[in-house]
Amino acid sequence: EAGVTQSPTHLIKTRGQQATLRCSPISGHTSVYWYQQALGLGLQFLLWYDEGEERNRGNFPPRFSGRQFPNYSSELNVNALELEDSALYLCASSLGQGTYEQYFGPGTRLTVT
Partner 1 sequence: AQSVTQLDSQVPVFEEAPVELRCNYSSSVSVYLFWYVQYPNQGLQLLLKYLSGSTLVKGINGFEAEFNKSQTSFHLRKPSVHISDTAEYFCAVSRAGGSYIPTFGRGTSLIVHP
Rounded CA gap, 91 and 35, in Å? 6
40 is an interface residue for partner 1 by CB under 8 A:
yes
DSSP letter at 26? P
Q: Which of 19, 76, 87, 90 binds partner 1 (CB under 8 A)?
A: 90
**Residue length of the chain:** 113
107 is an interface residue for partner 1 by CB under 8 A:
yes
Residues 6+ apart with CB under 8 A from 105: 3, 4, 5, 6, 23, 90, 91, 92
Return the range that interacts with partner 1 (CB under 8 A); candidates 11-19, 35-43, 66-74, 77-85.
35-43
Q: How far is the CB of 34 from partner 1 (least distance, A)?
A: 11
Q: How far is the CB of 46 from partner 1 (least distance, A)?
A: 10
48 is an interface residue for partner 1 by CB under 8 A:
yes
